[in-house]
Structure formats: C-alpha cells, structure tokens
Amino acid sequence: MPDPTEVAGTPGLSYRDAGVDREVAQRAKRSIAELVRSTEIPGVISEPGSFGGIFRVPAGMSAPALVASADGVGTKLKVAMMAGRHDTVGRDLVNHCVDDILVEGARPLFFLDYIGMGRLEAGVTEQIVAGVAAGCRENGCALLGGETAEMPDFYAPGEYDLAGFIVGIVEEGNRPGKHRVREGDVLVGLASNGFHTNGYSLVRRLLFDRLGLGVHDRFPEHDASIADVLLRVHRSYLKPVLPLIEDGKVHALAHITGGGLPENLARVIPDGLEARVDRSSWTVPTEFQVIMRHGRVDEEEMFRTFNMGVGMVLIVPAGEADAVVARLNDEGESAWIAGAVARGERKVALV
C-alpha cells in the first residue's frame, strides 16, 4: 500500500506547540491504513508507506485498455456536513466513478481519493475514508492511495472537498460506445434511487433557503427526513450491467449525471440519429416532483438538472431488449424499455 494519509498541510511557526494535530494525524493515518487493507484485491503490490500505489496489469488480456475518470461529489457534501454524516459521501464518489467507466465497458481496478479540509478533525477523515473503502469493497476495487490536505485558509471549519480517481480495464475490441449505435436500437432505462450526486445546489436552495427547512425535518410529502432522502447513496450499476456488456448485449451506455438525460445520452448518439425517450414509460419519482412543484422549476430545466429517476441508459439491439430488461429485473433492478434510436437530428428527444 502507498501511504494514503500523507498530510500536505504545513506546520505554522508555532507548530511545536500544536502537538494535538500531529496526534490526530497519526491516529487518522493508522485507521486509514486499516481501511485501505480492507480493500485489498489480487493485483495490489505496493506496501504501506511507498510513494505510489502499485497495481499489476491483469494478465491474459489480448488488448487491455485502461479507463480512467476523475470526479467530485459536488454540493451533496454540504448536506452530509449539515447532517454530520460523513460515511456515505465516499460511497457516492466511488459509485459515481465506477458508473462513469462502466459505460466504457471497464471493470474497476483501483481508486484514489483526495480530501481537502481546513483542519483534520478527529474522526471525520476516518469516516470519509471509511465510506470510500466501503464503496471500493462493494465494487471489488482496491483503494490504492490518496491524499488528505490540511488547508486552513481554504476551507471553513468542519468543511471539506472530496475528489476521486478511478482506473479500470477493458478489452479494447469489446468497448461499447457511440460507434456501435444503430437505427432501431432500443433504450433500456435503469432506475436511480434519488438525486444521486446531481442537482444539489438547486435542491438545497429550495429546501433550506426558500422553504426554511432543516436537514432533520421531513422531506416534503415523504415519511423520511431530508437527510435520509438527500444522502441516499449514488447507485453503482456494475454488478447487474457488466455481465451484459461482456456478453455483447449492449451497444452503448450513458450514465445520467449533470446535464441529465438530454446531455448525457447525446454523448453516445452518432450524427444522423436521435434517441427518442418515451417520457410516459416511467413515473418520475416523487422527490423530483416535489422539487419541481415547490420550486416552480420548468420541466425542461428539471430534465437538464436531475436524473429524474433514470440512473443509467443502455442502448441495446432491438432483438435483445426484452431479454436484457428481464435479466436486469431478475437481478433486482428496476429496468424498462424507455424508447428507441431513430433517424433524426435532435440527438435526444423527450417525447
């Protein structure tokens, strides 16, 4: 293992008196090392304390290609801070990254995190990294390293930013993508479980600023608290979807994040074709309806800001669509036929 707890913060002139921080850092370091070890998988060859994390390239592939992505959690972090719950955002981050490389057909190998914070607070770093490690274990990838930077002039007390970086692997020839999409292909929608990691600035402004609610109040028209609804963890679609890709059943995929269905689906639609999304094929979950109604947000805006209940879209050959939907539902997903690819110039049309 590399040292995932390098602390970039620099001692002040009175550093010698500030023994506490060093102790907090040392304690964090030890528990993070344990968390890192809990994610070990075959392939990890670095030892604790090394400068870089080292991972053996899997053998036996004919044309292995690495797929990498960097991401943050965005302002969902603010909700975690308000609720004092720091062990879920790491899972959000890992799952978001896993889904981003899954659309390229990649199986995750390893993950690294970056935490920027004002002052290391006893327990908080560990909770954040515990979430990252849990996300890694759930997706079978190693937490190979990371950095925690103490930057008191950048972050308010109790605040932090969290970014992550994933590397996965795919056989180059098996990559799904835009180049495989054909007229007549079918769109298969996969349900999200909430806001995932997008639209939080708007949601927060509405709930906290306009409606004056607190994070422990009930989410409007729901039985659950705002914290519970807003901190539901971004889903990873790795387990149900990767086997379908490996079986050659999927032409392309889109992970529905910022920009929503219109912008993300457009990324895998070739020129001359358009994805016609049938809006009557699913019911937009109530949490989105609440935001739209109470915030008087225009529907198009909603679709460009939120996933609206669709976490991922698979584009599959027409002849495979029913079988793909059945397999996904058998795996416990909520999947449905959400439209089709046709000739057209609009890239994505919500019909």
10 contributes a contact to its own copies by CB under 8 A:
yes
159 contributes a contact to its own copies by CB under 8 A:
yes
Q: How far is the CB of 341 from its own copies (least distance, A)?
A: 17
CA 269, 275, 279, 282 dihedral sign is negative
Stretch that binds its own copies, among 34-42, 49-57, 123-131, 336-344 (CB under 8 A): 49-57
* Angstrom distance (rounded) from CA 275 to CA 265: 8
- Tokens coding 64: 């292995």
- Tokens coding 281: 């094929």
Stretch that binds its own copies, among 13-21, 84-92, 184-192, 232-240 (CB under 8 A): 13-21
- Size of interface with its own copies, in residues (CB under 8 A): 91
| Angle (nearest 5°) at CA 61 between 236 and 175 | 50
Stretch that binds its own copies, among 29-37, 153-161, 227-235, 322-330 (CB under 8 A): 153-161
126 contributes a contact to its own copies by CB under 8 A:
no
21 contributes a contact to its own copies by CB under 8 A:
no
Contact 301, 199 (CB under 8 A): no
Interaction residues for its own copies, span 295-314 (CB under 8 A): 295, 297-298, 301, 304-305
Residue type, 79: V
Q: Among residues 10 and 283, whose Cβ is nearest to its own copies?
A: 10
* Angstrom distance (rounded) from CA 92 to CA 106: 18
270 contributes a contact to its own copies by CB under 8 A:
no
Contacts of 157 (CB under 8 A, 6+ apart): 118, 119
Stretch that binds its own copies, among 29-37, 125-133, 143-151, 216-224 (CB under 8 A): 143-151
| Angle (nearest 5°) at CA 52 between 50 and 58 | 115
Interaction residues for its own copies, span 59-118 (CB under 8 A): 63-72, 74-75, 77-78, 100-101, 103-104, 106, 109-110, 112-114, 116
154 contributes a contact to its own copies by CB under 8 A:
yes
Cα-Cα end-to-end distance for the chain: 51
